[in-house]
Structure 1
Amino acid sequence: MTTHAFPAGSPAGPADGRKDTVLITGLDVRAANGSGTDAFWQSALEGRSGIGPITRFDASGYPSRLAGEIDAFDPAASLPGRLLPQTDRVTQLALTSAAEVLRDAGLDPAVLPEYGVGVVTANSAGGFEFGQRELESLWAKGPRHVSAYQSFAWFYAVNTGQISIRHGLRGPSGVLVTGQAGGLDAVGHARRMLRKGTPAVLTGAMESALCPWGYVAELTGNRLSTADRPEDACLPFGKHAAGQVVAEGGALLVLESAASASARGSTRAYGELAGYAACFDPAPGTGRPGGLVRAARAALADAGTEPSAIGAVFAEGAAVPELDAQEAAAITEVFGPHAVPVTAITSLTGRPGAGASALDLAAALLAVRDGLIPPTADVGRVPASHRIDLVTGRPRPLAGDAALVLARGHGGFNSAVVVRRADRP
């Protein structure tokens, strides 16, 4: 990939809050069904699942024993040895992905303006595996045996910090903690940075908490699938949907204003971030409907797009009957019954917290780029009451050049993003 520097005095996008086209010029994916953008996309189009028995610890005594693990990840192959004892697996995944997404975008930190690139990520759990290891040392050996790196390695903001430090990205930074909605919220916040004048922002979400401590935290929500067979584990919108599957992974992206991308000579983009919106659910007990419809409609309005222009909805796909029914009702309210193809990537990858919506966003960008909607895994019969057109079995051609991504986070977060095809900056 050819790298390009920002020319001296290059346009950084409107500093007064005016809208400018926001492009995704770099993309990297880490998922249970394929790491690397091309591998992930090929698996998604083939409907190939990455869900399987947990191997990272002995889960035989747990009611849920399946997960979406990333296989064959060797952090020592891509990171310097000094970083390995300082970082949790989630940060090692994020650092590896960050290097790849910068390369993919053609951004060389060595020739970038000092404050030219920001970093904003989302995370829900932080470095659970690192934290568990140090707690075990504290319990068994005493405080002198706890690593000093524990002070930051567990923290949910550590991915943003370590990426910034390693690549010298000294622009505005931040972290979002909004559950599964976080992957979209990070991208929305990155767009705000662009509109305030930052030329480019590395953004997205990465998660990994597949250790006993992290798994117990997931089990307390009582939403995990207890299926024994991988093909029965994650069935979003299916009649027999019975829970979620924990996973690791996510996606990182480089966002740029069209003016910035053009100024540095970038010649391609995965797509345009055309619209974003977020809102909260009403307080429990009010009887008022959830906020997903409002988020979807606001994102469409932000994009200047009518529902009829959307070629596919990339759904959260919670695989919990009550939550699936709510999302299906929201999609139907916005688009009409059976009016738009719907797909759920989590059926293939599992649910890696904030990384799940980042994976959905990556899949939506690749779908509008290639004109293909990846299928949901075989979930069996879809209840007629859902009234949605769920894509299963094989990819389906995408009508039009735009897609809507939906996400919800535990506690009432709702987010939506509209992406559009972009032929060039």
Structure 2
Amino acid sequence: MRNTFAVATTAALVLTATGAPALAQDETISITGRVFVDRNGNGTFDEGDGVQIGGPGVRVTDEDGRTTDLPVGPSGRYRVEKLRKSTYKVETLNLVNYTTTKSSYTTSETVTDGDFALVGQVAKGIAYVDANGDGTKQADEKPVTEGLRVTGNAKDGSPVDLTRTAGADGAYRFDLPLGDYTLTAPLLNDQNLVLGKPEAVTDIDWATGTRELTGQTEQVDLRYITAAANITVKGTLSPAKDAYLIGEEITAKVQLVNTGNAPVLPLIGLGQFHAKLIRYSDSLEAEADTQFEFKRKIVPGETVEIELTFAPTGTIFTSLQLVVFDTMRGLKDVDASDNFLQIATKVVEKGAETTAPTATTTTAAPATTTTTQAVAQAGNKSGLASTGASPLGFLALGALLLAAGTSAVFVARRRRS
């Protein structure tokens, strides 16, 4: 049989009724305590510890097996008074989302310190701008003022979405119930700041800007540097021939080399494209008929190779023009002259082709020489509809485009952070 006590977290439970004799003071007991998040793990409620508000609270069971569940108040406290003198078991109910060294206690006397210290999940670290690039925060290096975000679900399935800002010393902390979470770094491209290359296991991934939180206590550091972003484009056509036929399949093999210090997520476009696009690499996502976005960032020192297979629709196709534009999502490209690739071609009617195939003449902007650390060879995606003769006015030939860069001449249909 369940007997529900009439309780409030700060009010007494009165067991007398009008006209009935009151119990003597020494025949009743009271139970008081606090449910709190033990941030320093010492088992005692201290300044800085959190409190559990609402939720399942605690359960009180008398010696006859009758129970009642008590919520906790704004201060994390629970309280019940004037209980008939007996033996009671008091237990915390929130053991799905937290661990504790004491989950219950039994008493037959008044209790004033029936606290339950809960331990959840912690994510902490520092988030700052590493002005001198030494990997260590100096007193004069500013903290990141934008919010860090943790999203996911607690063990009981309830959603969690929290934002924290680093303090003046760059330190931040998330106190969470146990669960599955992702910490996301703020994007500071508008300040020309990017995450630096990880120097320690505690550093967040600089390409994704995220970290899956797997430990009960996990340190994740965010070190930002001033961006010097740059991408270099190289490429050839295959098969290499003096002339191609209208409708013949041609594959452009293009290498994009990150020669800067910032992870980048380039968009690429094809100019004066009088051809039918047949296939493109799986590493690309179509933004428009002749505009593509990479699915992941290219990190400094990395080379990514892509392929674009097309067929000329007429003899007006005289060159492949490819440009990387809006490469950094607001970051300034320090050298836009190597973002442009032009490979001259000759297309003829069937029956007018030349004899033996020879190497294709390639004309490209000067490229910064780098040592390739990694090459990612993408697969192919097919089924793109014909673009026909669709010249894009954003790609003018000549020195003006090479010198001034191309980020302002494209309008991307969407932006990805």
Give the TM-score normalised by the residue count of structure 2.
Answer: 0.25
Choose 1 or 2 for highest CA Rg.
2
**Structure with greater proportional helix content:** 1
The one of the two structures with greater contact order (alpha-carbon pairs below 8 A, sep at least 6) is: 1
Please state which structure has a larger fraction of its residues in strand.
2
TM-score with structure 1 length normalisation? 0.24
